[in-house]
Structure 1
């Protein structure tokens, strides 16, 4: 299936500091593209891949699972590590969950984490019903475009494939066990009004990671997809400040050419 217009992966060849950005469940690189482009403007090397099963039609996601999504990001991280002195990982929602696993597994290869409304567990009846329900019903209503800004639109599926949702449930459990292995500096930005991931997830992540350098930011004006919402500029500013503190060369190398 062809990739939906706007859902294409994005890459920019910049300087010696890289950023890997991870989009969310049933979403696409479109939700993080403005953030990625702003980072590229500052001379950073940027990779924003399209996860397997995403960006086409929801039926394509039914045959993928969290191991496929993680493997794609693992490859991208290794590739960035070969050409960059420092690599930061950023993620939205499930992308934040996957970013935490990259940090837990790769240690010093990840210089810092920037997470926006990361997920940690399934809530409500879904967590109990999914193991059986996924064999009876192929999909459920979508979760895309939880955005307070009236003009904000997320390019994501209008249906949630339930086999993939069951795999997401498994991912949450795996990563929750690995959180104590996360020691990197952490910038956690989350929305008090989030209709997809409740604030309890951010609180649990903060309580379980071993990171000592932690900065928490509340995105008061945004819903779940804050990267396309009223706080989008603040996310960019906070992330550039975070990277600049840990990699002081950023902003001094000039903007590199390439795309």
Structure 2
């Protein structure tokens, strides 16, 4: 017991000695003040509400999907869906940058999960008021929790009801259990560091402030509790969950919790597909160094299924 106490004391002293603010001096890092998400300066290249600012009747009847990314990521996460849409036609993609993301470390640090969510709400409201009749949503990772919260809070009751929602590796339970300790260790650590591959630099935050990790934990905990209580989709809204069976970020059981806690407006079960992948957000392959033909086939299959559903 005495040794354990000494170990804990030494560990606490070591943690206390850590620098609580990262040194950001690499111009290739998203965390600094040199690189910003391109959608901030050129929304007309990302948001359907901008590049379709004066829609024709035909465009208003064409499906549009609002695609939102995960925690600490950027619009880059859905670039491949945009490429797929441009090639195969039939629907528009609106790539939303979560609030507080794609900017400096300090702005990321200061943003709440409701700030993250606000940009999704803003784009949905705009498209609905513009008269788009077939609005879909796609959320990867943390955006899965943000979209589930919009459903639970009845956000869509004031607007055109979404035709469908696709969740890619939504996180309800984290695979890394240390996240649950952020309330205790966060103030001591200040931030954590994530390892990025070369092709991911400039599109994800290297440093994750403890304040943002607390926000992440807060929204997924809230989502889990809401699913335990149970709630339903808006009328005639379709939803499908795609979940990797091996995921170092989001526990595969997250899909089961969504399946058990969320029903259609008529009380039926939602669709869930457990996919053979060990990638978190398997629909994003750009920037990853080890991508197999199986990964590419799975991405194409998923995008094709999403497109087919939108064109029904």
Maintained 8 Å contact 1:51/1:69: yes
Maintained 8 Å contact 1:100/1:182: no
Which of 128, 131, 137 is the matching residue for 1:89?
Answer: 137
Maintained 8 Å contact 1:103/1:110: no
Structure 2 partner of 1:196: 249
Structure 1 regions of 5+ residues with no counterpart?
146-150, 246-259
Aligned residue pairs: how many?
240
Which of 11, 20, 26 is the matching residue for 2:66?
Answer: 20
Structure 2 partner of 1:46: 93
Which of 228, 233, 239 is the matching residue for 1:186?
Answer: 239
Maintained 8 Å contact 1:19/1:89: yes
SS of residue matched to 2:276: coil
Task: Return closer, same or farther for 1:219/1:7 CA change in 2, 3 Å cut-off.
Answer: farther
Q: Which has the higher contact order (CA 8 A, sep 6+)?
A: 1
Cα RMSD over matched residues? 2.6
Structure 2 partner of 1:233: 300
Which of 111, 115, 135 is the matching residue for 1:64?
Answer: 111
Task: Return closer, same or farther for 1:97/1:171 CA change in 2, 3 Å cut-off.
Answer: same
Which of 136, 144, 167 is the matching residue for 2:215?
Answer: 167
Structure 2 partner of 1:224: 280
Q: TM-score, normalised by structure 1?
A: 0.81
Q: Distance in 2 between matches of 1:232 and 1:128?
A: 31
Q: Matches of residues 108-187 of structure 1 in structure 2 within 5 Å? A: 109-122=161-174, 125-142=177-194, 153=200, 155-179=203-227, 180-183=230-233, 184-187=237-240
What's the offset of the Cα at 1:4?
3.4
More helix by share: 2
Task: Return closer, same or farther for 1:114/1:80 CA change in 2, 3 Å cut-off.
Answer: same
